[in-house]
Amino acid sequence: MIHNTKKVLGIDPGYGRLGWAIVASEHGKDVLIDAGCFETSVNTPYQERLQLIGAHVKDLFQAHTPDLLAIEKLFFYSNQKTAMNVAEVRGMILHIAGATPTKEFTPAQIKQAICGYGKADKKQMQHMTKLLLQLKETPSPDDKADAIAVALTGMHHSEL
Protein backbone atom coordinates (compact mmCIF):
# COMPACT_ATOMS: atom_id res chain seq x y z
CA MET A 1 0.00 0.00 0.00
CA ILE A 2 1.16 3.50 -0.84
CA HIS A 3 1.32 6.05 1.99
CA ASN A 4 1.74 9.84 2.03
CA THR A 5 0.31 10.18 -1.43
CA LYS A 6 -1.93 12.60 -3.21
CA LYS A 7 -4.99 10.82 -4.56
CA VAL A 8 -7.43 11.81 -7.27
CA LEU A 9 -10.79 10.19 -7.87
CA GLY A 10 -11.58 10.47 -11.56
CA ILE A 11 -15.17 9.97 -12.72
CA ASP A 12 -16.64 9.56 -16.17
CA PRO A 13 -20.30 10.17 -15.23
CA GLY A 14 -23.18 8.12 -16.53
CA TYR A 15 -26.23 6.35 -15.19
CA GLY A 16 -25.93 3.15 -17.22
CA ARG A 17 -22.16 2.96 -16.88
CA LEU A 18 -20.11 5.13 -14.55
CA GLY A 19 -16.35 4.92 -14.95
CA TRP A 20 -14.19 5.60 -11.91
CA ALA A 21 -10.47 5.54 -11.12
CA ILE A 22 -8.16 6.31 -8.24
CA VAL A 23 -4.76 7.64 -9.29
CA ALA A 24 -2.09 8.50 -6.75
CA SER A 25 1.18 10.37 -7.08
CA GLU A 26 4.17 9.50 -4.94
CA HIS A 27 7.57 11.07 -5.52
CA GLY A 28 6.44 12.36 -8.90
CA LYS A 29 5.25 9.00 -10.23
CA ASP A 30 1.60 8.36 -11.08
CA VAL A 31 0.18 5.03 -9.95
CA LEU A 32 -3.22 3.53 -10.72
CA ILE A 33 -4.61 2.36 -7.38
CA ASP A 34 -7.93 1.01 -8.61
CA ALA A 35 -10.45 1.56 -11.39
CA GLY A 36 -13.68 0.15 -12.64
CA CYS A 37 -16.98 0.60 -14.36
CA PHE A 38 -20.12 0.61 -12.22
CA GLU A 39 -23.16 -0.49 -14.20
CA THR A 40 -26.87 -0.24 -13.55
CA SER A 41 -29.55 -2.16 -15.42
CA VAL A 42 -31.93 -0.52 -17.87
CA ASN A 43 -34.64 -2.60 -16.15
CA THR A 44 -34.03 -0.83 -12.83
CA PRO A 45 -36.13 2.30 -12.20
CA TYR A 46 -34.13 5.49 -12.74
CA GLN A 47 -34.46 6.70 -9.12
CA GLU A 48 -33.12 3.37 -7.88
CA ARG A 49 -30.25 3.60 -10.37
CA LEU A 50 -29.35 6.99 -8.90
CA GLN A 51 -29.42 5.53 -5.39
CA LEU A 52 -27.14 2.66 -6.44
CA ILE A 53 -24.69 5.05 -8.11
CA GLY A 54 -24.74 7.38 -5.10
CA ALA A 55 -24.01 4.52 -2.71
CA HIS A 56 -21.12 3.37 -4.90
CA VAL A 57 -19.62 6.85 -5.12
CA LYS A 58 -19.95 7.31 -1.33
CA ASP A 59 -18.12 4.00 -0.88
CA LEU A 60 -15.31 5.23 -3.16
CA PHE A 61 -14.91 8.42 -1.12
CA GLN A 62 -14.89 6.48 2.15
CA ALA A 63 -12.50 3.78 0.96
CA HIS A 64 -9.98 6.04 -0.76
CA THR A 65 -10.39 9.51 0.82
CA PRO A 66 -9.29 11.35 -2.33
CA ASP A 67 -7.64 14.75 -2.16
CA LEU A 68 -9.41 15.80 -5.35
CA LEU A 69 -12.43 14.81 -7.40
CA ALA A 70 -11.85 15.16 -11.14
CA ILE A 71 -15.03 14.78 -13.18
CA GLU A 72 -15.83 15.06 -16.85
CA LYS A 73 -18.06 18.00 -17.74
CA LEU A 74 -21.30 17.38 -19.52
CA PHE A 75 -20.40 18.56 -22.97
CA PHE A 76 -22.75 17.37 -25.70
CA TYR A 77 -25.50 14.81 -25.99
CA SER A 78 -27.82 14.53 -28.99
CA ASN A 79 -30.47 12.97 -26.73
CA GLN A 80 -31.87 15.57 -24.32
CA LYS A 81 -33.23 12.94 -21.89
CA THR A 82 -29.80 11.30 -21.65
CA ALA A 83 -28.17 14.69 -21.06
CA MET A 84 -30.61 15.49 -18.25
CA ASN A 85 -30.06 12.13 -16.57
CA VAL A 86 -26.26 12.43 -16.77
CA ALA A 87 -26.52 15.99 -15.41
CA GLU A 88 -28.48 14.64 -12.44
CA VAL A 89 -25.80 12.00 -11.82
CA ARG A 90 -23.11 14.70 -11.94
CA GLY A 91 -25.06 16.86 -9.48
CA MET A 92 -25.40 13.96 -7.08
CA ILE A 93 -21.67 13.19 -7.32
CA LEU A 94 -20.77 16.83 -6.70
CA HIS A 95 -23.06 16.80 -3.66
CA ILE A 96 -21.44 13.62 -2.33
CA ALA A 97 -17.98 15.17 -2.85
CA GLY A 98 -18.92 17.84 -0.32
CA ALA A 99 -15.86 19.81 0.71
CA THR A 100 -13.47 17.71 -1.41
CA PRO A 101 -11.82 20.02 -3.95
CA THR A 102 -13.25 19.39 -7.41
CA LYS A 103 -12.02 20.06 -10.94
CA GLU A 104 -14.19 19.64 -14.01
CA PHE A 105 -12.78 19.00 -17.48
CA THR A 106 -14.31 18.89 -20.94
CA PRO A 107 -13.56 15.87 -23.13
CA ALA A 108 -11.28 18.08 -25.29
CA GLN A 109 -9.32 19.24 -22.21
CA ILE A 110 -8.83 15.62 -21.12
CA LYS A 111 -7.70 14.55 -24.60
CA GLN A 112 -5.30 17.50 -24.76
CA ALA A 113 -3.85 16.65 -21.34
CA ILE A 114 -3.36 12.95 -22.09
CA CYS A 115 -2.51 12.90 -25.81
CA GLY A 116 -1.49 16.48 -26.53
CA TYR A 117 -4.33 16.66 -29.06
CA GLY A 118 -7.87 17.75 -28.17
CA LYS A 119 -9.47 15.56 -30.83
CA ALA A 120 -7.70 12.29 -30.02
CA ASP A 121 -9.77 9.15 -30.52
CA LYS A 122 -10.56 6.45 -27.94
CA LYS A 123 -7.71 4.17 -29.05
CA GLN A 124 -5.16 6.98 -28.77
CA MET A 125 -6.48 7.85 -25.31
CA GLN A 126 -6.33 4.25 -24.10
CA HIS A 127 -2.82 3.78 -25.51
CA MET A 128 -1.48 6.94 -23.87
CA THR A 129 -3.15 6.10 -20.56
CA LYS A 130 -1.47 2.70 -20.65
CA LEU A 131 1.92 4.29 -21.39
CA LEU A 132 1.62 7.07 -18.80
CA LEU A 133 0.79 4.62 -16.01
CA GLN A 134 3.03 1.83 -17.31
CA LEU A 135 0.10 -0.60 -17.30
CA LYS A 136 0.48 -4.14 -18.61
CA GLU A 137 -2.87 -4.04 -20.40
CA THR A 138 -4.87 -1.36 -22.15
CA PRO A 139 -7.64 -0.18 -19.81
CA SER A 140 -11.14 -1.20 -20.80
CA PRO A 141 -14.08 -0.78 -21.02
CA ASP A 142 -14.13 2.76 -22.39
CA ASP A 143 -15.80 4.20 -19.28
CA LYS A 144 -13.03 2.86 -17.04
CA ALA A 145 -10.33 4.10 -19.42
CA ASP A 146 -11.98 7.52 -19.60
CA ALA A 147 -12.13 7.75 -15.80
CA ILE A 148 -8.41 6.96 -15.58
CA ALA A 149 -7.72 9.76 -18.07
CA VAL A 150 -9.92 12.14 -16.06
CA ALA A 151 -8.01 11.26 -12.86
CA LEU A 152 -4.64 11.80 -14.57
CA THR A 153 -5.84 15.14 -15.92
CA GLY A 154 -6.92 16.14 -12.42
CA MET A 155 -3.58 15.05 -10.99
CA HIS A 156 -1.64 17.30 -13.33
CA HIS A 157 -3.99 20.27 -13.64
CA SER A 158 -4.68 21.09 -10.02
CA GLU A 159 -2.88 22.52 -7.02
CA LEU A 160 -2.66 19.35 -4.93
Residue 157 neighbours by CB under 8 Å, 6+ apart:
103, 105, 109, 113
- Determine which helix (DSSP H) or strand (DSSP E) holds 157, and give its type and residue range: none
**Does residue 72 carry a catalytic annotation?**
yes
Active-site residue, selected from the candidate residues 30, 67, 72, 146: 72
* Cis bond before residue 141 (omega within 30° of 0): yes
What are the CA-CA distances from residue 63 to residues 85, 140, 150 (Å)?
26, 22, 19
Active-site residue, selected from the candidate residues 12, 30, 67, 146: 12
Active-site residue, selected from the candidate residues 30, 67, 143, 146: 143
**Does residue 34 carry a catalytic annotation?**
no
- Residues annotated as catalytic are 12, 72, 143
